[in-house]
Amino acid sequence: MSGSPDSSAFAAELCGLLPQHGAAERLARTWLEADAPDFDVGGFVVGDETQEAHLLGKTSGILAGRPFAQAVCDVVGIEAEWLVEDGHEITEQAAQEKRVLAKMRGPVRRILLAERTILNIMTRASGIATAARTMSRIKAEHQWHGQVAATRKTTPGFSLVEKYAVLVGGCSTHRMTLSQMVMLKDNHIWSVGNITKAVEKARAAAGFSAKIEVECQSLDAALEACAAGAEVVMLDNYEPSALKQDAAKLKAKYPHVIIEASGGITEDTAATFFSKDVDVLSMGKLTQGYSCLDLSLKIQRAEKEDASAPSQPGQAEAQADSSM
Average pLDDT of the chain is: 91
User: Confidence band (pLDDT; 50, 70, 90) for 172?
Assistant: very high
- Within the chain, all domains assigned CATH 3.20.20.70 are found at 181-286
Specify the pLDDT at position 15. Answer: 83
Tens digits of per-residue pLDDT, 210-265? Answer: 999 999 999 999 999 999 999 999 999 999 999 999 999 999 999 999 999 999 89
Burial class (CB in 10 A: 0-12, 13-18, 19+), 270: buried
Specify the pLDDT at position 308. Answer: 56
> Above 60 in pLDDT, residue 321?
no
Specify the pLDDT at position 2. Answer: 43
Of 171, 183, 176, 130, the C-alpha closest to 289 is 130
User: What are the residues facing 62 on neighbouring strands?
Assistant: 89
User: Confidence band (pLDDT; 50, 70, 90) for 167?
Assistant: very high
Catalytic positions, written as ranges: 153
> Above 70 in pLDDT, residue 20?
yes
More confident residue, 10 or 277: 277
Helix (H, G, I), strand (E, B) or coil at 124: helix
Contacts of 313-316 spanning 24+ positions with Cβ under 8 A: 313/56, 313/98, 314/98
CA distances 247 to 80, 223, 260, 316, Å, are 50, 10, 9, 61
Tens digits of per-residue pLDDT, 114-143? Answer: 999 999 999 999 999 999 999 999 999 999
Among the four given CATH numbers 3.40.50.410, 3.90.1170.20, 3.30.420.40, 3.30.1330.40, the one describing domain 8-135+291-301+312-318:
3.90.1170.20
Tell me the CATH architecture of domain 181-286. Answer: Alpha-Beta Barrel (3.20)
Specify the pLDDT at position 138. Answer: 97
Angle, in degrees to the nearest 10, between helices 23-35 and 159-169 = 120
Q: How far separated are the first and last CA of the chain, in Å rounded?
A: 55
Specify the pLDDT at position 164. Answer: 96
Of 117, 116, 150, the C-alpha closest to 131 is 150
Over pLDDT 90: what percentage of the chain? 84
**169/126 Cα distance (integer angstroms):** 9
CA distances 285 to 162, 206, 235, 267, 281, Å, are 12, 29, 18, 9, 12
Cβ neighbors of 312 (< 8 A, separation 6 or more) are: 298, 300, 301
Over pLDDT 70: what percentage of the chain? 91
Kindly report which listed range (11-25, 41-55, 64-78, 237-251) carries the lowest average pLDDT score. Answer: 11-25
- Within the chain, all domains assigned CATH 3.90.1170.20 are found at 8-135+291-301+312-318
**C-alpha 141 chain-centroid distance:** 22
More confident residue, 216 or 317: 216
Burial class (CB in 10 A: 0-12, 13-18, 19+), 74: middle
pTM over 0.95: no
Q: What is the average per-residue pLDDT within 169-193?
A: 94
> Above 50 in pLDDT, residue 3?
no
Helix (H, G, I), strand (E, B) or coil at 147: strand
Of 126, 165, 135, 136, the C-alpha closest to 7 is 136
Which residue type occupies 227?
Answer: A
- 8 Å CB contact between 300 and 129: no
Counting every residue written for the chain, the total comes to 324
CB atoms within 10 A of CB 273: 22
